[in-house]
């Protein structure tokens, strides 16, 4: 009899323990289901965020390309404008040089005419006549023109000397240049070396 009661108590205890375990399992399962639902929700939101980021990235790249094309077009337009202005200036120089030469030729002819008239008048007066001098501005502008032409000619010569020295084997001719041209030539030589190295590196990558 006592043994039956003990067994009954054990059965009741085990039944309570089973119910408690089932309840705990249901609670945990419910929490797990909630977590799974939350995880699925977050995964969906993450996918939406990734898609939005991808869309923004594509639009950003498109805008960057549009900006690059716009800047390129602006640069090309400014280049064309600068080339046009340069060519206009060059045309004016081309037109001015023959006129300047012709003006000097007319001046020389006029000087000869004045000299002849002075000689002619002298024969009648028996002395050298007074002739008004040429405008002072002529001598000043003539000196300025000579200095300008000499400077431009020297600049052209300096450029030729620098390029020849830089093109010499290993740049040995650079040491023979005047000191101020050596600085320019060495800089030019270094630029050529860097450009050559960059070109070699690019071909190697290809």
Name the residue with higher pLDDT: 124 or 140: 140
For 31-79, how does the pLDDT look when each residue is reduced to its tens digit (9 = 90+)?
777 788 888 888 888 888 889 888 989 999 999 999 999 999 999 999 9
Tens digit of pLDDT for each residue in 165-193? 888 887 888 888 888 888 888 888 888 88
pLDDT value at residue 1: 56
Kindly tell me the sign of the dihedral angle through the C-alpha atoms of 164, 165, 166, 171. positive
**Span of 91-100, 133-142, 197-206 with lowest mean pLDDT:** 197-206
Distance CA 12, CA 183 (A): 105
Are 189 and 171 within 8 A, CB to CB?
A: yes
Q: What is the CA 166 to chain-centroid distance, rounded?
A: 25
Contacts of 75 (CB under 8 A, 6+ apart): none
């Amino acid at each position: 009899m006592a043994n039956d009661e003990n067994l009954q108590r054990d059965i009741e205890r085990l039944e309570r323990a089973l119910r408690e375990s089932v309840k705990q399992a249901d609670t945990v399962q419910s929490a797990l289901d909630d977590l799974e639902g939350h995880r699925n929700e977050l995964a969906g939101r993450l996918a939406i965020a990734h898609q939005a980021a991808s869309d923004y990235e594509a639009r950003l790249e498109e805008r960057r390309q549009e900006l690059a094309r716009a800047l390129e077009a602006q640069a090309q337009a400014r280049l064309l404008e600068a080339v046009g202005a340069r060519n206009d200036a060059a045309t004016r120089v081309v037109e001015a040089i023959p006129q300047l030469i012709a003006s000097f030729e007319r001046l020389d002819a006029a000087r000869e005419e004045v000299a002849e008239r002075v000689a002619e008048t002298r024969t009648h007066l028996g002395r050298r006549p007074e002739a008004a001098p040429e405008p002072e501005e002529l001598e000043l502008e003539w000196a300025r023109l000579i200095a300008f032409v000499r400077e431009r000619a020297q600049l052209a010569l300096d450029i030729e000397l620098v390029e020849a020295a830089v093109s010499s084997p290993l740049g040995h001719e650079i040491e023979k240049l005047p000191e101020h041209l050596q600085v320019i030539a060495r800089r030019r030589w270094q630029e050529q070396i860097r450009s050559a190295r960059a070109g070699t590196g690019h071909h190697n990558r290809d």
